[in-house]
Structure 1
Amino acid sequence: MKKILFLLVVGSIFCGCNFSKVKEEGEQYVSDNLVIDKISDHVYTHMSFFNSESFGKVACNGMIVLDDGQALVFDTPADNEASEELINWVKGSLKAEIKSVVATHFHDDCLGGLQAFHSHGVPSYANQRTIDLAKEQEIVLPQNSFEEFLELNVGDEKVNVEFLGEGHTRDNIIGYFPTEKIMFGGCLIKEINATKGNLEDANVEEWAKTVKKVKAKYPETSVVVPGHGKLGGAELLDYTISLFE
């Protein structure tokens, strides 16, 4: 995470928008709290905003996988208000039921809005390491755990959720949608030209090794969505490896 995210990423998206109103045109939804973009037939990104004492206002990415009237959400928006907005948008605009929400690590930019999903009866999933770390923070906990690998259904599609090692945190996981070869890398993966960002809970010695495992496991990845910043291709994996080697 870094201060220029808001200027480079959010500013470029929002230029010319009226923030006091909700805007929904074609394949994009924009409000004060939330931005949703369609990136493929089955996949949308969502972006919300987290106020950090160290980095200021930070744009945080998540991902939605959609099929046959069902949806899976990777990472909640940063708070319950934005999460409620996302849930209502999925129900109203996509005419879909959210079948599950997955927190990719224990920081607020991944599960800060978890209570909103629970209030709507949406089951939540996380690595057991995430749940253990979240318990120490005395925050809302994901309901279902896994250790290394989890396969979740979305309509007739399947989505992989996997822990391949430590990096940004001890518990960071990735999501992968095989049908369209799209990866949600979360905060394990950096956008091009990003700095190392928040290392408070990081394992910098293992970070590059973990991303090498991700790249080896999913060599056909065509799109990568990082936890913050612009999405790209497999070059984001290579950039992250080089940043921490």
Structure 2
Amino acid sequence: MKSIFVILFSFIILSCHSQHKNNFKAKEIYKSENLVITHISENSFIHTSFKQTNDFGNVPCNGLIVKNGSESIVFDTPINDKSSEELIQWINKTLHSKINAVIPTHFHDDSAGGLQAFHNHNIPSYSYIKTIELTKKNNFVVPQNSFNDSLILKVGTEKTITKFFGEGHTKDNTVGYFPSENILFGGCLLKELEAGKGYLGDANVKTWSNTVEKVKKEYPHVKIVVPGHGEYGDQKLLDYTIALFKDQ
């Protein structure tokens, strides 16, 4: 009888834990003129800053914060140093978290425009080797550490994976993955549902679909997909982006 009770109690605890994880309700938890932070899962947050453009208006630009214990990693900086400083202060003071690294996923300013603010706080930066080359070529702030194909960084007791799958939005676009919560940060390689093709000045539209197909194959269990601009979603964003650039 006692063993049956223990089994039943364990089942209830596991069920409640599972329900808590599955029923997480995303919510906006910080908003200022320059920065919005949205809590999208137990340990992950989207940071959104804004870029004023001639062709597309005031564009929201997404990045991702992942956290474990008292440590965090940031994918993509906000659009400039001012917004990045605001984000760093928020992570330190609200999440009470040490930022282990910042990872720009490509060389444009909606990915690396606030890099200097992170360097000012002695937060190490990591990027794909082509991102290093392109930031140097364009006289942008250069990430401090490079990797050839993929990078694994620890955050608390968990890990993050950053990997280059091929050209698309740019020659250097990488994606970030947080396995413990099955969250993919696609950056500007991935589009929100119903989005247009966006800025193509540095793109390789012929390989774009194939690159995203490789991402989809690599991470079949992904639950949350965060694009560089617009609303996050699920694997449908991968399928939509593949279809958008098919047969170019």
TM-score (norm 1): 0.89
Residue ranges of structure 2 left out of the alignment (5+ in a row): 1-26
Q: Distance in 1 between matches of 2:54 and 2:123?
A: 30
What one-letter code is carried by the residue in structure 2 that aligns with 1:210?
Answer: T
* Identical counterparts, % of pairs: 54
Matches within 5 A, 1:1-245: 28-245=29-246
Q: Distance in 1 between matches of 2:40 and 2:128?
A: 26
Any idea what SS the aligned residue of 1:215 has?
Answer: helix
CA contact (8 A) 2:168 2:211 kept: yes
Deviation at 1:41, TM superposition (A): 1.1
Deviation at 1:122, TM superposition (A): 0.1
Deviation at 1:27, TM superposition (A): 5.5
Q: Distance in 2 between matches of 1:27 and 1:132?
A: 36
Any idea what SS the aligned residue of 1:100 has?
Answer: strand
TM superposition outliers: structure 1 runs of 4+ over 6 Å: none
What one-letter code is carried by the residue in structure 1 that aligns with 2:80?
Answer: D
CA contact (8 A) 2:66 2:72 kept: yes
Q: Higher RCO, 1 or 2 (CA under 8 Å, sep at least 6)?
A: 1
Any idea what SS the aligned residue of 2:92 has?
Answer: helix
Q: Distance in 2 between matches of 1:226 and 1:121?
A: 27
Deviation at 1:56, TM superposition (A): 2.2
What one-letter code is carried by the residue in structure 1 that aligns with 2:183?
Answer: I
CA contact (8 A) 2:28 2:36 kept: no
Q: Distance in 2 between matches of 1:119 and 1:172?
A: 25
Any idea what SS the aligned residue of 1:153 has?
Answer: strand
Any idea what SS the aligned residue of 1:200 has?
Answer: coil
Any idea what SS the aligned residue of 2:199 has?
Answer: coil
**For each residue in 1:127-185, what CA deviation from the matched residue of structure 2 results, as whole angstroms up to 9, or x when unmatched?**
00001011111111000000111101101110000000000000000000111100000
Q: Distance in 2 between matches of 1:179 and 1:68?
A: 13
Q: CA RMSD in A?
A: 0.8
CA contact (8 A) 2:190 2:237 kept: yes
TM-score (norm 2): 0.87
Any idea what SS the aligned residue of 1:169 has?
Answer: coil
Q: Distance in 2 between matches of 1:45 and 1:157?
A: 19
Q: Distance in 2 between matches of 1:134 and 1:51?
A: 21
Residue ranges of structure 1 left out of the alignment (5+ in a row): 1-25
Q: Distance in 2 between matches of 1:145 and 1:158?
A: 18
Deviation at 1:51, TM superposition (A): 1.6
CA contact (8 A) 2:224 2:235 kept: yes
Aligned length: 220
Q: Distance in 2 between matches of 1:239 and 1:55?
A: 20
Any idea what SS the aligned residue of 1:216 has?
Answer: helix
Any idea what SS the aligned residue of 2:181 has?
Answer: coil
Q: Distance in 1 between matches of 2:28 and 2:43?
A: 12
Q: Which residue of 1 aligns with 2:4?
A: none
Any idea what SS the aligned residue of 1:39 has?
Answer: strand
Any idea what SS the aligned residue of 1:44 has?
Answer: strand
Q: Which residue of 2 aligns with 1:19?
A: none
Q: Distance in 1 between matches of 2:105 and 2:61?
A: 12
Deviation at 1:53, TM superposition (A): 2.9
